[in-house]
């Protein structure tokens, strides 16, 4: 079948419904998934997108027509889906497009927890199978069975913290009409916090704002309310709940690398000497804080397929990505939005400090640019040009090009989906140096 090859991404399948991804394509992807993995049972869940029911029905039909059974876990967040895959031990398909706009949908695919299909390992194989339709003839038709892991999931995430230590903190949570609202209410109902919820009901029409809290307009209302209502902290989740973001008591957005540094240091109190992963874009605050707490910091390329595999191989207890993904050994090395929120509540309760105090220590020493995107005609050529221009620095090519000097460093890498270069730069000398070097590198990128 002729299928748009661009829907087969580095970490998942994703496209606009119904032009790029429709029922016919989803059906063939279901058959291809079973064929490629030789799966006997496939776990299937979905998010709240309006195209979800149709694509869910199509992909499960494909799975069953190819002879495998379907473990139907219904409408769930992605961390609930990972939990189901861990509990049952089967491969899985989650019908979701994460934080993409509402016209998108797609599939996040688990080979076997914690290993996912990625562009290098499986996703392009699926594309070739879909195009050729070279499926073996099955000997039976699969059956569908429904499963509900909600209560076990609630018990699992609460088991990771000391519930009795939680104080009646004032918390405002915005789930943006994504998938996290229902399960978050189940979890938080068992904690003595003062919860104010925003847009907790899943609604694929997204009547309030977009699903990506990294976009300032999608978190502006939450930031304002945290400040106006004197909350201790604010939490935001992306559409499918595998990414998490926090707002401090000043109403300020907390960058993913600072949150990784704070959580990493806290988790090392529980497991001294452990390994912690961070991605190439991160502030030096992460390795500095991990080492200061007696841990072992390990840098890895961006992307959940790479992070999960490396964590499992290294037996690391925690990983954080600048983009808001947080991974936990205690959760089968998977990412979850709910779990980091619980650790922050526990930490604030036990330490009796304000979030802004913990951040102030980092903000006064590490000056970060945040991620800046630039459109370029040839990503590879531009990355080589940058490496040549800054060849007097320490150059690493773990993911894109990373360059380090004594007081500043940066990473530039191409987008997986668009002709963009993403820059993250930091100075430990001053905000002025960060801004000057940021503008200098941007001038090279955009020349």
pLDDT of res. 10: 87
For 254, which DSSP code? Answer: P
DSSP conformation letters of 320-352: E-TTS-EEEGGGTTEE-SHHHHHHHHHHHHHH-
**SS3 category, 71:** strand
pLDDT class of 119 with cuts at 50, 70, 90: confident
Domain assignments of the chain as residue spans, ordered by start: 5-149, 168-252, 254-363, 367-446
Percentage of residues in the chain with pLDDT exceeding 90? Answer: 97
pTM confidence score: 0.97
Alpha carbons 279 and 302: distance in angstroms, whole number: 6
Percentage of residues in the chain with pLDDT exceeding 70? Answer: 100
Alpha carbons 302 and 300: distance in angstroms, whole number: 7
| pLDDT over 80 at 416, yes or no | no
> pLDDT (tens digit, 9 = 90+) per residue, 378-398?
999 999 999 999 999 999 999
Q: Which CATH number fits domain 254-363: 3.40.50.620, 3.40.50.10470, 3.60.70.12, 3.40.120.10?
A: 3.40.120.10
Q: Which residues does the annotation mark as catalytic?
A: 98
| Residue 444 CA, distance from chain mean position | 30
Q: Please indicate whether the domains covering 168-252 and 254-363 agree at the CATH topology level.
A: yes
pLDDT class of 28 with cuts at 50, 70, 90: very high
| pLDDT over 90 at 296, yes or no | yes
Q: Are strands 41-46 and 69-75 parallel, antiparallel or unpaired?
A: parallel
Q: Which two tokens stand for residue 409?
A: 């460093």
- The C-alpha angle with vertex 352 and arms to 350 and 355, in degrees rounded to 5, equals 105
> pLDDT (tens digit, 9 = 90+) per residue, 132-143?
999 999 999 999
Are residues 99 and 243 in contact, defined by beta-carbon separation less than 8 angstroms?
A: yes
pLDDT class of 113 with cuts at 50, 70, 90: very high
| pLDDT over 90 at 225, yes or no | yes
If you classify domain 367-446 with CATH, what class do you get?
Answer: alpha beta
| pLDDT over 90 at 446, yes or no | yes
Q: Left, alpha or beta for 27 (phi > 0: left; psi -120 to 50: alpha)? A: alpha
Alpha carbons 291 and 294: distance in angstroms, whole number: 5
Find where tokens 């992460």 sit.
Answer: 286
| Nearest residue to 49 (alpha-carbon basis) of 111, 97, 121, 13 | 97
Q: Between helices 23-37 and 123-132, what is the axis angle to 10°? A: 120
Those residues whose C-beta lies under 8 Å from the C-beta of residue 349, and which sit 6 or more positions away, are 165, 166, 167, 169
pLDDT of res. 348: 98
DSSP conformation letters of 118-154: BTTTBHHHHHHHHHHT-PPPPSS---EEE---HHHHH
pLDDT class of 292 with cuts at 50, 70, 90: very high
| pLDDT over 80 at 399, yes or no | yes
Q: Are strands 233-237 and 244-247 parallel, antiparallel or unpaired?
A: antiparallel
> pLDDT (tens digit, 9 = 90+) per residue, 235-270?
999 999 999 999 999 999 999 999 999 999 999 999
Q: Region 286-308: what's the mean pLDDT?
A: 96
pLDDT of res. 417: 73
| pLDDT over 80 at 20, yes or no | yes
pLDDT of res. 69: 98
pLDDT of res. 354: 97
Are residues 232 and 172 in contact, defined by beta-carbon separation less than 8 angstroms?
A: no
Find where tokens 């996290």 sit.
Answer: 180
If you classify domain 168-252 with CATH, what class do you get?
Answer: alpha beta
pLDDT of res. 369: 98
- The CATH fold assigned to 5-149 is Alpha-D-Glucose-1,6-Bisphosphate; Chain A, domain 3 (3.40.120)
pLDDT class of 178 with cuts at 50, 70, 90: very high
pLDDT of res. 329: 98
């Amino acid at each position: 079948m002729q299928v748009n090859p661009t829907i087969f991404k580095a970490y998942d399948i994703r496209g606009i419904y119904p032009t790029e991804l429709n029922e016919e394509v989803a059906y063939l992807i279901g058959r291809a998934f079973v064929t490629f993995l030789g799966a006997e049972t496939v776990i299937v869940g979905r998010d709240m997108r309006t195209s979800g029911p149709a694509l869910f029905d199509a992909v499960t039909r494909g799975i069953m027509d190819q002879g495998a059974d379907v473990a139907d876990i219904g409408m769930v967040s992605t961390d609930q889906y990972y939990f189901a895959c861990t509990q049952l031990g089967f491969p899985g398909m989650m019908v979701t497009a994460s934080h993409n706009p509402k016209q998108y949908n797609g599939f996040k695919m688990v080979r076997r927890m914690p290993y996912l299909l990625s562009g290098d390992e499986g996703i392009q194989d699926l594309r070739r199978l879909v195009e050729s339709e070279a499926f073996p003839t099955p000997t039976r038709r699969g059956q569908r069975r429904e499963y509900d892991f909600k209560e076990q999931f609630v018990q699992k995430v609460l088991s990771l913290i000391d519930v009795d230590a939680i104080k009646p903190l004032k918390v405002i949570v915005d789930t943006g009409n994504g998938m996290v609202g229902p399960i978050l209410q189940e979890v938080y109902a068992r904690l003595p916090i003062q919860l104010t919820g925003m847009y907790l009901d899943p609604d694929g029409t997204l009547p309030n704002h977009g699903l990506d809290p990294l976009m300032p307009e999608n978190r502006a209302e939450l930031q304002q309310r945290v400040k106006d209502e004197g909350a201790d902290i604010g939490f935001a989740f992306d559409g499918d709940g595998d990414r998490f973001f926090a707002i401090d008591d000043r109403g300020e957005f907390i960058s993913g690398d600072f949150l990784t540094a704070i959580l990493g240091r806290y988790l090392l109190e529980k497991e001294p000497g452990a390994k912690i992963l961070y991605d190439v874009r991160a502030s030096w605050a992460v390795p500095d804080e991990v080492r200061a707490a007696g841990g072992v910091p390990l840098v890895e390329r961006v992307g959940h397929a790479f992070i999960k595999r490396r964590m499992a191989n290294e037996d690391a207890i925690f990983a954080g990505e600048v983009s808001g993904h947080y991974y936990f050994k205690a959760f089968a090395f998977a990412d979850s939005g709910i779990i980091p929120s619980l650790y922050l509540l526990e930490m604030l309760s036990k330490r009796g400090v304000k979030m802004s105090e913990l951040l102030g220590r980092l903000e006064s020493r590490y000056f970060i640019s945040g991620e800046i995107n630039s459109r370029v005609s040839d990503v590879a050529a531009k990355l080589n040009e940058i490496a040549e221009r800054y060849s007097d620095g320490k150059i690493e090519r773990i993911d894109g090009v990373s360059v380090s000097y004594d007081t500043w460093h940066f990473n530039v890498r191409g987008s997986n989906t668009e002709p963009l270069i993403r820059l993250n730069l930091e100075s430990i000398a001053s905000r002025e140096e960060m801004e000057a070097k940021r503008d200098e590198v941007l001038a090279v990128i955009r020349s």
